[in-house]
Structure 1
Amino acid sequence: MAETIISYGDLKEKGVLITGGGSGIGAALVEGFAAQGAKTAFIDFADEPSRELVRRLSATSLHTPIYLKADLRSIEETKAAVEQAACQMDGLSVLINNAGWDDRHDFATVTEDYWDMSQAINLKQVFFVSQAAAPHLIRAGGGSIVNFSSISYVRNMSEMPAYTTAKAAIIGLTKSLAGKLGPENIRVNALMPGMIVTERQKRLWLTEEKIDAMLDSQCLKQVLVAQDLVGPCLFLASSASAAITAQTLVVDGGVL
């Protein structure tokens, strides 16, 4: 991970919960918050990368990250994981709803079961994780929720209609939660990443030709990686953005 340039002192000792934190963008976020001295927990379903992340960070972090295994499609498991995180960290001040499933799928072959599964992973759990976390943020005197959307729905991408529907809905959910939780001093914002090149993306979807085509459309001619989302996420989680809520920050190298 690139060296953290800015230190947000108010994040030290704060309880931070990240969904989908075992690999990819989520792992970069776990590392970024741990480097700030935050008490960091993450929910994931993949054992091997999650446990390896904890092992790797345990030697360098003020607080060893806490791995909580749960299937976010299960509301019961999800709520239990949130409660466990709050208990083990003695409170919760920041929630990062990062988990998602950007599976490609053809419009003509989407079934009802597939649609429901995609919405469960990409949208439904964002609401219920937030619902479970909100009482803890209120007890902490306020805090921050950061939801992950995507520029895919803005760019009319045709190969994942269920996913892009969920990512569009997250913007509406963000604004609704901001209105509801603002009086409790809880800010709710969204990040809208562009093409973030991870090992999974390269293995499943991204060719060099696709990466080059995206670079041509970006103002900044640099390949975006998971670490490029750490700074924006830390900013929205910290008191540096104390007057910012109900907003969406685009991190795409200047496509939109």
Structure 2
Amino acid sequence: MSQYARYPSLKGRHIFISGGASGIGACMVEHFCEQQSKVTFVDIDEKAGTALAERMQAQGAQVRFSYCNVTDIASLRQVINAAVDDFGTIEVLVNNAARDTRVPLTELDVETWDELQATNLRHVLFASQAVFAGMEAAGGGSIINFSSPSFMRRSRDISAYSSAKAGTIGLTRTLSRDMGDAGIRVNTVLPGWVITERQKALWWDPELERQVLENQSLHQRVVPADVARMVLFLASDDSRMITAQTYIVDGGLV
């Protein structure tokens, strides 16, 4: 990471990341650790989360992993409170946890719809609510919510997921006003087609990748680090007057 920016304002800052055990989330954990931030991250993949935390700790990072299913709001609040006890006020919240389940329109039922809203949208509000008082007392903070350009591309079979991700952008803009008087900035990041291990296992094939790269303005793979570096910037004081904004990191696909 030496050729990329270091942010002095992130040193010692407490970062809370949901969905941090793998993929883009894990990359963000690594990047914040490299910035010498204090990092708390949660995930439902206890094995991967524990392994990542141990690896970062072995490198001298201040990092803590806890199991948490973000659809359980009581548990999420409890983990956030415990994180504050461990590392102090959460100054940066990254609402990354999500699941892009494909469900054909004719097969989507009420239970699946509700579960996908809880997994992709509901926790964003309640995690933000849980850190608000601490950020307000500290004089400000940064909240970074994750959306997806899938609804802009009119992708098939993800109506519930796309609805949640479109809703995240609206929620971001509303929260930015609700929290602005407290000096809290709220922004949204939309990763493009980042080929994580999950993507490889479920949907990747060479022809699809060829089509994606051909349709991007920049004909290179978008990798997790590209997204993580945008999040670092939005978490740092370098972006102190940026709020209510939406950033697409997709090589110009949409």
TM-score interval, normalised by the smaller of the two chains:
over 0.9
Between the two proteins, what is the percent identity of the paired residues?
A: 39
Provide the rounded CA distance (Å) in 1 between the counterparts of 2:94 and 2:12.
Answer: 16
1:106 paired residue number: 104
Provide the rounded CA distance (Å) in 1 between the counterparts of 2:2 and 2:50.
Answer: 23
Does 2:26 correspond to 1:11? no
1:221 paired residue number: 219
Measured against aligned partners, the alpha-carbon deviations of 1:185-208 in whole angstroms (never above 9, x if no partner) come to 000000011101101101011211
Structure-to-structure mapping, 1:176-187, within 5 angstroms = 176-187=174-185
Query: In structure 2, the residue corresponding to 1:158 is in which secondary structure?
Result: coil
2:138 paired residue number: 140
Task: Give 1:55 deviation, angstroms.
Answer: 1.4
- TM-score of the aligned structures, taking structure 2 as reference length: 0.98
Answer whether contact 1:95 1:146 (CA < 8 A) is retained: yes
1:53 paired residue number: 52
Provide the rounded CA distance (Å) in 1 between the counterparts of 2:3 and 2:54.
Answer: 20
Task: Give 1:3 deviation, angstroms.
Answer: 4.8
- Residue 8 of structure 1 aligns with an amino acid whose one-letter code is Y
- Structure 1's unaligned 5+ residue stretches are none
Measured against aligned partners, the alpha-carbon deviations of 1:153-208 in whole angstroms (never above 9, x if no partner) come to 11111221100000000000000000010110000000011101101101011211
Query: In structure 2, the residue corresponding to 1:102 is in which secondary structure?
Result: coil
Provide the rounded CA distance (Å) in 2 between the counterparts of 1:71 and 1:115.
Answer: 17
Does 2:197 correspond to 1:199? yes
Answer whether contact 1:86 1:92 (CA < 8 A) is retained: yes
4+ aligned runs moved over 4 Å, structure 1: none
- Structure 2's unaligned 5+ residue stretches are none
CA RMSD, aligned part only?
Answer: 1.0
Task: Give 1:4 deviation, angstroms.
Answer: 6.2
2:165 paired residue number: 167
Provide the rounded CA distance (Å) in 1 between the counterparts of 2:165 and 2:95.
Answer: 12
- TM-score of the aligned structures, taking structure 1 as reference length: 0.97
Task: Give 1:47 deviation, angstroms.
Answer: 0.9
